[in-house]
């Protein structure tokens, strides 16, 4: 029924081994023989049986890319960029040569699904796995991830983190590209402070996420440095929970990384502290929601209130006014992660590289009135 490698061998009048060799190209074969085999392949419309091949070779050509929310361009851009480096150029024949199958797995931000996908990838004997975006910080999940990743690495799967810090007990088995979320967050708030803002609201992302925590830490660093933090209670290491310093907590609202959350959290913020003159959002999408809320309250941006985002997604420059934000080189980082996953590029020294975040000052922030 389906044509196998043996059929091709028969038609080309060679042994199955020879066919395998020309197909994999990793072994010397006479040009004339190769020619004959290739023709037989085309004649028969032969397609390699992936599972059989993977079983025999004990590796597969699958590369997994895990993302928290594929509907969010933040992840879409990184994942797409990674795929460009993994999928191979394609020879236009649709025949599929040595390229890998780069596949994106959407965890929806759920730790369980993240683990499940890793198991599925492990089951497929994936060649590499790229993990993007912030990690959930619960100790239980971290331990489970660590164990799972160790097992994957032991089985020969290459592990790459992209836009996510390496695990605490991160063995040197992995390469990691971490965004400078803390530095970006700090510079953003410093910008606001330099403009004259003193009461700044913060619409944070979900709790227990590295990205959320680091951006918030950067924000508070700037606040502290400017002497704007009342009752500095917990210090850096305590502010991912609920018990930070009093005033800062009142000016911080957590929520998912989506537009709706930005809208609602901003309303809440404005209720709690009507005197805020600026709002920093966890990311650009949240900022868009924040802008809508501010407007719906009859206030103007930036005259009455400044709004800033994070990430510099493509739509941010088109917001009205254009969004002040922190640019993350998502495409470049994704592409680099893809190359790392393919072993095309050697890992950074120490296994971890920090990716700079650049402050983009635009129209949505200005000096407070008065």
Residues within the interface to DNA (CB under 7 A): 2, 4-6, 13-21, 23-24, 27-30, 32-34, 48-49, 52-53, 55-58
Instruction: Identify which of residues 86 and 223 has a Cβ nearer to its own copies in the complex.
Output: 86
Chain residues 62-121 in contact with its own copies, contact rule CB under 8 A: 62, 64, 69-73, 75-77, 79-80, 83-84, 87-88, 90-92, 94-96, 99, 101-106, 108, 110, 112-113, 115-121
Partner in contact with 119, chosen from its own copies, DNA, none, beta carbon below 5 to 8 Å by kind: its own copies
- Quote the least distance from Cβ 116 to its own copies, whole Å: 4
CB 353 within 8 Å of CB 360: no
Cα gap 141→350, rounded to integer Å? 24
Kindly identify the residues of this chain, within the stretch 199-228, that bind its own copies according to CB under 8 A.
none
Nearer to its own copies, 50 or 350 (CB): 50
Residue from 22, 37, 41, 60 in contact with its own copies (CB under 8 A): 60
> Binding to its own copies (CB under 8 A): which residues in 294-333?
295, 314-315, 317-320
Please select the residue that binds its own copies; options are 6, 30, 47, 299, rule is CB under 8 A: 47
Q: Which helix (H) or strand (E) holds 80?
A: helix 73-86
Among its own copies, DNA, none, partner that 6 touches (CB below 5 to 8 angstroms by kind):
DNA
Task: Please select the residue that binds its own copies; options are 122, 142, 146, 297, rule is CB under 8 A.
Answer: 122
Which of its own copies, DNA, none sits in contact with 4, Cβ below 5 to 8 A by type? DNA
Burial of residue 140 (CB within 10 Å: 0-12, 13-18, 19+) is exposed
Q: What is the chain's Cα-based Rg?
A: 25
| β-pair type (358-360, 325-327) | antiparallel
* Phi-psi category of residue 235: left, alpha or beta, with phi > 0 → left and psi -120 to 50 → alpha: left
Q: For residues 235-274, which are near its own copies according to CB under 8 A?
A: 259
- Per rule CB under 8 A, is residue 288 in the interface with its own copies? yes
The distance in angstroms from the start CA to the end CA of the chain is 81
Which stretches of the chain are assigned E, i.e. beta strand? Answer: 62-67, 101-106, 128-132, 158-162, 174-179, 200-204, 252-254, 278-281, 306-308, 325-327, 352-355, 358-360
Report yes or no: 201 and 179 within 8 Å, Cβ to Cβ: no
Torsion of CA 342, 348, 349, 350, to 10 degrees: -80
- The CB-of-258 to its own copies minimum distance in angstroms stands at 8
Among its own copies, DNA, none, residue 235 binds (CB under 5-8 Å by kind): none
Instruction: Kindly tell me which of 106 and 354 has the beta carbon lying closer to its own copies.
Output: 106
Give which of DNA, its own copies, none residue 27 binds (C-beta under 5 to 8 Å, depending on kind). DNA
Residue 184 CB burial class (10 angstroms; 0-12, 13-18, ≥19) = buried
Nearest residue (CB) to DNA, 118 versus 366: 118
As measured in angstroms, the least distance from the Cβ of 20 to DNA is 3
CA 214 to chain centre: 15
Of residues 27 through 46, those in contact with its own copies by CB under 8 A are 45
Q: Find the Cα–Cα–Cα–Cα dihedral 22, 28, 33, 38, rounded to 10°.
A: 20
- Kindly identify the residues of this chain, within the stretch 132-191, that bind its own copies according to CB under 8 A: 144, 148, 151, 155
**Partner residues linked to 106 by β-bridges:** 67
Partner in contact with 146, chosen from DNA, its own copies, none, beta carbon below 5 to 8 Å by kind: none
């Amino acid at each position: 029924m389906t044509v196998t490698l043996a059929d091709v061998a028969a038609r080309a009048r060679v042994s199955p081994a020879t066919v395998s060799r020309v197909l994999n190209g990793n072994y010397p074969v006479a040009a004339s023989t190769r020619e004959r085999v290739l023709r037989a392949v085309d004649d028969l419309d032969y397609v390699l049986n992936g599972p059989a091949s993977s079983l025999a070779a004990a590796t597969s050509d699958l590369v997994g890319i895990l993302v928290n929310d594929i509907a969010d361009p933040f992840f879409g851009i990184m994942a797409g960029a990674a795929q460009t480096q993994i999928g191979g150029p394609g020879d236009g024949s649709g025949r599929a040569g040595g390229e890998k199958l780069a596949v994106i797995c959407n965890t929806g931000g759920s730790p369980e699904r993240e683990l499940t996908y890793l198991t599925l990838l492990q089951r497929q004997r994936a060649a590499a796995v790229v993990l993007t975006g912030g990690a959930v910080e619960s100790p239980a999940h971290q331990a489970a991830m660590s164990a799972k990743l160790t097992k994957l690495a032991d089985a020969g799967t290459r592990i790459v983190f992209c836009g996510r810090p390496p695990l605490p007990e991160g063995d040197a088995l992995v390469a990691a590209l971490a965004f400078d979320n803390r530095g970006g967050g700090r510079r953003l708030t410093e910008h606001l402070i330099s403009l004259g803002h003193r009461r700044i609201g913060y619409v944070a992302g979900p709790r227990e996420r590295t990205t959320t925590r680091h951006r918030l830490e950067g924000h508070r660093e700037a606040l502290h440095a400017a002497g704007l933090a009342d009752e500095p209670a917990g210090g850096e290491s305590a502010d991912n929970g609920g018990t930070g310093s009093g005033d800062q907590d009142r000016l911080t609202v957590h929520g998912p990384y989506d537009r709706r959350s930005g809208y609602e959290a901003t309303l809440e913020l404005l209720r709690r502290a009507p005197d805020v003159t600026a709002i920093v959002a966890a990311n650009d999408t949240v900022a868009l929601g924040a802008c809508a809320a501010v407007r719906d309250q009859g206030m103007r941006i930036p005259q009455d209130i400044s709004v800033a985002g994070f990430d510099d997604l493509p739509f941010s420059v088109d917001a009205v006014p254009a969004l002040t934000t922190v640019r993350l080189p998502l495409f470049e980082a994704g592409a680099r992660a893809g190359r790392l996953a393919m072993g095309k590029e050697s890992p950074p020294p120490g296994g971890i590289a920090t990716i700079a975040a650049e402050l983009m000052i635009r129209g949505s922030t200005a000096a407070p009135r008065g």
